[in-house]
Amino acid sequence: MLHSTVNQLFEQLVTCEQFLDSCGELMWRDKLREALIVDAAGNEALDLDLLLSYFSQGEAFFELELSSDLGHRVSETTETGANSHLVTLRLDIYYLAQRCRDESNQSIVIISSSL
């Protein structure tokens, strides 16, 4: 069960990173990549505490809005759809990360063995 949740979370993170990259939102793309780590044994892992910290008021990933006025690669016609997609990705990532932490009782989960 946990491996499935970790795999889903990893897939959503990759999708979100690619989406942010395509929109020109490099700061949050890079922050999401920081949650992917290599543990002492050389396994790829996700730092759930770091990832979940991005959803706290201090980091405000929940407040990110894509806008051409802010230099993002979206137009007036695509801005609403892009922001709607971002909201869905963010919620998926948040809830999957919470579920991973609840299921594992750990702040770091291995993804190499779950792919």
- pLDDT tier at 69, thresholds 50, 70, 90: very high
Note the pLDDT of residue 114.
40
Structure-model confidence comparison of residues 93 and 62, the more confident one: 93
- pLDDT tier at 57, thresholds 50, 70, 90: confident
Q: Given the structure tokens 């989960």, which residue do they identify?
A: 109
38-49, pLDDT tens digit by residue? 877 888 999 999
Q: Which of 1-5, 37-41, 84-88, 103-107 has the highest mean pLDDT?
A: 84-88
Q: Could you give the C-alpha distances from 52 to 9, 32, 40, 76, in angstroms and in order? A: 12, 10, 22, 31
Which residues have C-beta within 8 Å of that of residue 43, sequence separation ≥ 6?
Answer: 110, 111, 112, 113
State the DSSP string of 48-71.
HHHHHHTTSTTT-GGG----GGGT
For residues 16 and 19, give the distance between their C-alpha atoms in angstroms, rounded to a whole number: 5
What is this structure's pTM? 0.90
